[in-house]
Structure 1
Amino acid sequence: MAKLKTKSSKPTRKSKKVAENSAATGARRAPRRADDAPAVVSPAAAGPSGALLEGHVGAQYLLPLLSGAEARGLPGVVVTRVAFQRAGLNHPMDDVIVTGHDRQGRPAILELQAKRTISFTASDKIFADVVALACRAVAKPEFATTRYELAVAIARTSTRIEQHIQDVLRWAREYQGAEDFFGRLNQPGGAHQAMRDFVAAFRKHMHTAGAAHDDVAVWRLLSRFQVLAFDFEQPGSVCAQLARERCALLLAPQDMGRAGELWDSLQLIALQVDAAGGDVDGPALRERLAAERDYRFAGDRRLHVARGRLAETAENTLSTISSRVHGVAIDRGGHVAAALSALEQGRYLEIRGAGGVGKSSVLKDLAQRIGVESRVVIVAPHRVPEEVGPRWRHSLVVSCRRASF
């Protein structure tokens, strides 16, 4: 990428004064409140966040528009449109807005805010802003009647995030009410202190935003909140590698060598649409890529029904794996955290150990965590036949060969 060189010059006295006044204003800015009117500003001035993080994240959500696949953070949903910078159109968490529908045609929304740095603590002003925006979304009528997910995209994760914060968010989804959720969270020895600290910080920021912050309100928001880590800025990014592989599958055989180029094109389009505060759907995106870059795409593989049936099979399999030994719950958080850390370094993970030590329980915990963001498929050796027969195709509603599936 070419770099633009400019002559450096010392700031004038006037420019220094403007900068000082801006800094002072920022320091005195009152905390964001849930009932504040949405700030209507130029989309170009509102983003992107960090070093092209929004471009990376936005491109990640443009991929499902081309493939018919599901978007991260919206498992079971076929993506139909991706929009950017829509605060002025009543989308509080407005960096990326993903809309789609499930198998029954019911609408679903994911609002996502991209933040390069966020500590998820009581003193973190960035976290406070994110929670205040989330509280605005909760106040929308459709939040109670539709599948409405909220997420913050981060450039890098940590053991605290993966081992404690993600556990809290998973618990909030697993429990059907605030009483049971807080009962487990506050039970002596039932949760790590870092988990309680995160919930306390979340409640504090809800209170500061002027939103309801009782147990039910906190649990309700936590059950719809996600933290999605995208490692695009890290050397050897796994996310980027997976994106390029998905691009290769989308292209016709004679164009598969342009997979990296397609991924770069998607990032550029995401930045351009972001700057305009626009949106794009699948047909428009495919037409734009073909017209501007002359990409040739493979056939349209709509496999969401088959994925749904495989996911249902996986859920039934996981339900047969017990996490208890003689009725006692065994904490395998350390092993799970180590597994998640290993997955950040590569795509494949092998869990080894003697029989009966809990390998299946670790696998179940990993699958449940990942299942919040995307589909989980559990397969055994030789489960999928080399030649896809009529019976297998009919059971999964698959119209392609095994290699394509």
Structure 2
Amino acid sequence: MTSIPRDRPGGPNPLRALGLDRLRRRTSMKWRAYPEDVLPLWVAEMDVPLAEPVVRAVTDALDLGDTGYSAGTGYAEALAAFASRRWGWDGLEVERTAIVPDVMLGVVEMLRLVTGPGDAVIVNPPVYPPFYQFVTHVDRRVTEAPLGADLRLDLEVLEAAFRRAVADGGRAAYLLCSPHNPTGTVHTAEELAAVAALAERYGVRVVADEIHAPVVAGGVRFVPYLSVPGAERGLALMSASKGWNLAGLKAALALAGPGAAADLARMPEEVGHGASHLGVIAHTAALRDGTGWLDALLAGLDANRRLLADQLAGRLPRIAHRPAEATYLAWLDCRALGLGDDPAEVFLRKGRVALSSGLPFGTGGDGRVRFNLAASPEVVEEAVRRMAAATA
């Protein structure tokens, strides 16, 4: 794969900047769900200080009292420039974007545009659990097309799922996780082009969740779904949330291919009012001015992926694991440890380390856990030590 271009890292590794004493003062979900003796490595929050350009932009807005309703296209323009510089993609047209409150709420709105109640939405388990929850809550039915044994898209299985989904004459959508959560798989241009061809053949509309797009390993290139041939009728959601740890500053962008512009134009105007103006300011600053900080983070994550692999090989060699190509998550197959379908429960109870249970990720999640790498190296080492002690 062609390497994704990176800027010169803008400072030291952010993952080394904060100690546990300071992190435990945070009031977000990661630090409040479990007692203080538990190491929380579950939900997708990072143990980092915010990038300085983001802090400056939000602080300046607060100083101005700029806390009203969001306006303008600055966020979309910043994302378009980032996509061009980072991924060599110049096809992100500001006119075919819309602000949404966050990626998953944007997914819901896109599904409402291209499917109806009772229609099928295809997903690739093991996959981000809200894919099941949000699809069900919007009165669509989930159809699984599991990843292959290599944790990549299985195009034959996907085609069979497409065929079943439209067999009754209804509409269908494919909710693509790209990069894939929890496996960290980065879909290739060839895989995505094959997806687009299948979608056109069966009349399935693709909605791509690309929230982890900025977070890729060294030597790996992210390919936006809307950049591949045949994806003109696709829809995608992007955000700076995962790359810069901005989940609490709500804002995301819905993107439409040329053939989906009319669909996006039908989205109710009030949907965009759910985004935070401060969120839009923060995400815009991250994309425009925070790439040096991002690259320092990516270097730290690369080091943590190597560290986790070494620690597992030394302490828990029966855990099957391949370092992810993207995200700051690791998908660990613990079945050989004999801990049952939910090893996360054992690691929490006996080791006092909180990981995400694999069970809510759907087919292929039993006996697995998701490990959040976005912590200091010392915390990663301590977590593996505790996991090993829990299995002794």
TM-score (norm: length of structure 2): 0.27
Higher RCO, Cα 8 Å, sep 6+: 2
TM-score (norm: length of structure 1): 0.27
